[in-house]
Structure 1
Amino acid sequence: MFNIKLTSIPLNGLFIVLLLINFSLCFIEDGYKRYNNYSVLRFKPTTTDQLHFLYQLAQNETFLMERSVDFWTEPGSLNSSVDIMLSPEARSTLSPVFASNQLTPSVMIEDVQSRIDAENLIKGRQSLPFPFGVRGSRPNAKQFFSTYQRYDTMMSMLDEIARSNSKVATIETIGKSFEGRDLKVIKISSGSSSGKKKIWIDAGLHAREWIGPSTAMYFINKLVTSVGKDENVDSILSKYDIVVLPLANPDGYEYTHTTNRMWRKTRSLTNSRWGYICRGADPNRNWSYKWRTGGSSTNPCSDVYAGSAPFSEPEPKAMSQYILKNGPWHMYISFHSYSQLILLPWGWTTDLPKDYKEMYRVAEKAATSLKSIYDTPYTVGSATNLLYVASGGSDDWAYGEAGVPYSYTFELRDTGDHGFVLPDDLITPTAEETFVAFKTMCDEIYPNK
């Protein structure tokens, strides 16, 4: 069994280790983190021993702190894929260990940096200067969705959409990120709100999952600019007011553009007895419902660090306050990636909520309609039973604490060929098919509950 024991390190040795980690993190802070020859390997554990081994490896926080091993998908159940990004050194070290556990991986990505470089080449990694091709008073959506945009450009487009369509769209800043960026929502409402139900959509809680914010922006543009022109949109807005937060973790998102493409967390500072060592918490482990009851970490250097307390991070705190203040809500949707899943509560337990059958029925209908567009298959189920335990998530909170009867997380494209580095030319197809699924959900849940 592969294991690194920290218990044998004396206190002064541990202090040196932590200092070295601190220096290493500072180095990354000052430069651009490259992933030359980092590979992504896929494992499919077929025995409980293999699954246990991968689980123990995923819990080894030494590797997580050093960023040598990054679980892109966590071990959950037998015969389910586990994707792991490894540095060249980690791959060399662990290969015989994998072999001794009779784990033979397939290579999903041979060189992660080459994928990032290709992404950068297409985009030029510079946002389009606003107004990036304005036709009359409207942004050129085709140009905008041809690549992944930066925070400033996304917010400029959001403002322009609202300004040009003020009868149906209004902008509100619901809070600030740790680094002071606006958390902007757009409320989309056609006609009177009397008798309508409310839907909340957010995206980008995890910084490296770029397809989420792009999909949310597509939804916004589609809903706002199609009023009176698209009967599907008119049907949705005749029944619902919709609030969208397209970028829930702007600090982390910007950091993935400037410094570390694979960054996941927020960018808050975590204090320790030796000073500030690690940055950020997982904003999808920081919600108060069943906080830190499994599938999260107390280690500030972990990618799944739950934070020092529920809502210690200003981003989920602002979201929760707005949701509670402006309810009741009929449906909650959060966009993540990747794996092509529609996830239902619970994430903290394998038990199923009382409304599971109804939520599952709606999600199955949505998955069927989504597949009809580009033949993209999605799997439906509870988060814990399809993936793994992950407490403190937003969808559990929305259902369990905010009382939203339909609560979903979409894990968008793909299933691992590209992982988090989904090519730009898949932005629009992903958003188009997801919007069709959303239309189906709107039809199925109204006037239920």
Structure 2
Amino acid sequence: MTLASTPTPRFDTFYKHDALSRLLFDYADAHPDLVTVQSIGKSHEGRDIWVAIITNTHTGADTDKPAFWADGNIHAAELTASTACLYYLHRLVTGYGQSTDEGREITQLLDTRTVYLCPRLNPDGAELALADRPRHIRSSTRRYPFDEEPVEGLTIEDVDGDGRVLTMRIPDPHGAYKKCAADPRLMVPREPGEFGGEYYRLLPEGTLKHYDGLLVSVNRDVEGLDLNRNFPTGWRQEFEQVGAGPYPVSEPEVKAMVDFIVAHPNIGAAISYHTHSGVILRPMGTRSDDDMIPEDLWTYKRFSDLGAKLTGYPAISIWHDFKYHPKEVISGTQDWLYEHLGALFWVVELWSPNREAGITGYKWIDWYREHPVEDDLKLLKWSDEHCDGAAHVEWKLFRHPQLGVVEIGGWDKMNFWRNPPPALRESEVARFPAWMTRIALSLPKLELLRTEVRALGGDTWRVRLAVANSGYLPAYISKRALERKTVRGVVFEIHLPQGKAEISLVGGKPRFEGPQLEGHAVKTSMQAFLPNREVTADRAVAEWVVRAPKGTQIALTARADRAGAVRTSVTLD
């Protein structure tokens, strides 16, 4: 059989659903021993939600190995998140078996662990964002909370048909904006108490219904869901959490992810890719660091610092540093995977146009409320010099069907803010494979230490199975998982040949739960006064007494939910 060649994707391109589907299956065709593609469910509009399962199948099934999950594009227009997953997939399959340092790490990773990649959790919303006349909604295309079309107000959309959704400006003495003195292309806020100048009213590009010539209200998208607020942990109703849906996991896209992860308890760590801000976000979203389990906080900080070192992105707390409003909390995927399941989880907000333009020392969310005009000028300079002037579009006259003559222009938020310009997309997502691989290689890994058979006389034998966790992290991953009782200790099983009366289990249980296994992460430094008293807490031993004729072969299994499985056999002799 002749295998297909490895695809050569374009990371400066955002793929529509059909092309993305073909690309994933092309990888599976080219590398059948490493990649399989599975639909984990259907979107609201019936599109498949694909997961690429990447592991060396010759060294075991994906479910028998500890696993790392990454997803992207849960939010419709955050398309670079999908690129980040595709880029990692490409690096994994092309790096496997190579003699470089990265190749050796990838080979070790796929021989011993599994990577689950879901490049587009929200295919409907992405398809709308990629339409010829796009709309940039938050998430799902399902209408929520009501099904009716708006009867009045402004609906945000591409009015002039140029494939962009920009800003409309209208001269108005009561307007809140004026032209920047340093560069009249920029619109900047009026100063407190300022009057007597040329002012403008700014509106999102869109069309109006029942316009009375005076009042304009901007309608919320009729597709008002935010899939990232539909996860079960911390779910709140609409009056507290906009877009959360009618009940937890009501949306098919979220249910597909939840069902898959619950059915794969081997997933011990995960990243969800979003845009934008250029920052790594760690839990918790609903509590402060002081309220976290200290051991888990230490682990999060250790891996977050590693992420900052390898990617160049700062790593911060959601609760302390990334709130949309100081009186609000943000719940989402991170709350469910960590707070509910006890798996490690990060959100990565890809891309920072601010940082690209040389703006430093800004506060993530607060910057959007208020910042100096010098920052806007830096961004405009960046647009001119590095984006051919396309990040900030020149204002052009347009005869609007309801408003008359307006100007359309300003910042192209979809193509230069929510996402990097095409030439910068690959370099942006290339920051992350090394960190993801390091997290995955740190997952617990159950390994066989030894088996022992000792004759006790009279066709009676003592059988022992010893296993160890060779991973950095403990087999339970986090103290939160122990607290939530979402992981068991090592489960040992002995499998005796069936239907033979002369074979029986004399001592021990056919299946029993052993201890939780620690990893090789040190808990204190060498200078600590108190010694580590759990020097072999990474090991466990099972013992049975069997009555069977000499030469009988007996199968043994050990499994830890997040550390994988060991299968072996012994012969009684």
TM interval, shorter chain, is: 0.5 to 0.7
Paired position in structure 2 for 1:436: 434
**Cα–Cα, structure 1 residues 193 and 136, in superposed 2: closer, same or farther, change >3 Å?**
closer
Cα distance in 1 between the residues matched to 2:332 and 2:90: 27
Q: In the alignment, which residue of structure 1 is the partner of 2:546? A: none
Deviation at residue 275 of structure 1 after TM alignment: 4.1
The DSSP-based 3-state class of the residue aligned with 1:279 is coil
Report Cα offsets for 1:157-212 as digits up to 9, x if no partner: 00110111111111111100000000010110113237631111100011111110
Asked whether 1:178 is paired with 2:44, we answer: yes
Q: Could you tell me which residue of structure 1 aligns to residue 286 of structure 2?
A: 348
The Cα shift of 1:276 comes to: 6.2
CA distance in 2 between counterparts of 1:172 and 1:402 reads: 23
> Greater share of strand residues, 1 or 2?
2
Residue of structure 2 equivalent to 1:394: 333
Q: In the TM superposition, what is the alpha-carbon distance from 1:345 to its structure 2 partner?
A: 1.2
- Residues 281 and 140 (structure 1 numbering): CA distance in 2 closer, same or farther, change over 3 Å? same
The TM-score with structure 2 as length reference comes to: 0.49
Deviation at 1:326, TM superposition (A): 1.4
Alpha-carbon distance between aligned partners in 2 of 1:390 and 1:163, rounded to the nearest angstrom = 44
Q: Which amino acid aligns with 1:187?
A: I
Are the equivalent residues in 2 in contact too, given 1:151–1:254 (CA < 8 A)?
yes
Structure 1 or 2, whichever has the larger Rg, is 2
Bigger drift between 409-418 and 204-213 goes to 409-418
Q: SS in structure 1 opposite 2:272?
A: strand
1:28-427 matched pairs, under 5 angstroms: 137-141=5-9, 144-190=10-56, 191-193=58-60, 196-229=65-98, 230-258=103-131, 259-270=133-144, 272=146, 275=148, 278-292=222-236, 297-298=238-239, 304-351=242-289, 352-354=291-293, 355-371=296-312, 378-388=313-323, 389-404=328-343, 406-416=344-354, 418-427=416-425
- 8 Å CA contact 1:147–1:425 kept in 2: the answer is no
SS of equivalent residue, structure 2 residue 49: strand
Alpha-carbon contact 1:336-1:410 (below 8 Å) kept: yes
Count of aligned pairs: 299
Whether contact under 8 Å (1:211, 1:412) holds in the other structure is yes
> Residues of 2 paired with 1:283 and 1:210: CA distance?
15
Q: Which has the higher contact order (CA 8 A, sep 6+)?
A: 1
Alpha-carbon offset, residue 236 of structure 1: 2.1
Give the drift of 1:250: 0.5
Q: Is the Cα–Cα contact under 8 Å of residues 269 and 439 in structure 2 kept in the other structure?
A: no
Aligned counterpart, 1:448: 473
Q: Residue deviations 1:238-268, cap 9 Å, x none?
A: 3320111100011001111114353222111
Counterpart-to-counterpart distance in 2, 1:316 and 1:237: 27
**How far 1:305 sits from its partner (Å)?**
1.1
TM-score, normalization by structure 1:
0.62
Identity of aligned residues (%): 27
- Alpha-carbon RMSD across the aligned residues, in angstroms, is 2.3
| Separation of aligned partners in 2, 1:147 and 1:327 | 34
Map of 2:398 onto structure 1: none
- Ranges in structure 1 where 5+ consecutive residues have no aligned partner: 1-134, 372-377
Distance 1:380 1:427 in 2: 21
Distance across 2 between alignment mates of 1:392 and 1:193: 36
Distance 1:175 1:390 in 2: 30
Are the counterparts in 1 of residues 271 and 345 from structure 2 also a CA contact under 8 Å? yes
Q: CA deviation at 1:443?
A: 4.2
Give the Cα separation in 2 of the matches to 1:184 and 1:310: 22
Q: Is the 8 A contact 2:16 2:127 kept in 1?
A: yes
- Which deviations, in whole Å up to 9, do the C-alpha atoms of 1:4-26 show, x marking residues without a partner? xxxxxxxxxxxxxxxxxxxxxxx
Q: Which runs of 5+ in 2 are unaligned?
A: 151-221, 355-378, 380-415, 444-470, 475-573
Whichever residue aligns with residue 279 of structure 1, its letter is E
The code of the aligned residue for 2:70 comes to I
In the alignment, is the contact (CA less than 8 A) between 2:307 and 2:315 conserved in 1? no
Are 1:365 and 1:441, in contact at CA under 8 Å, matched by a contact in 2? no
Determine which structure has the larger helix proportion and give its number.
Answer: 1
Q: Matched residues in 1 for 2:149 and 2:338: separation?
A: 35
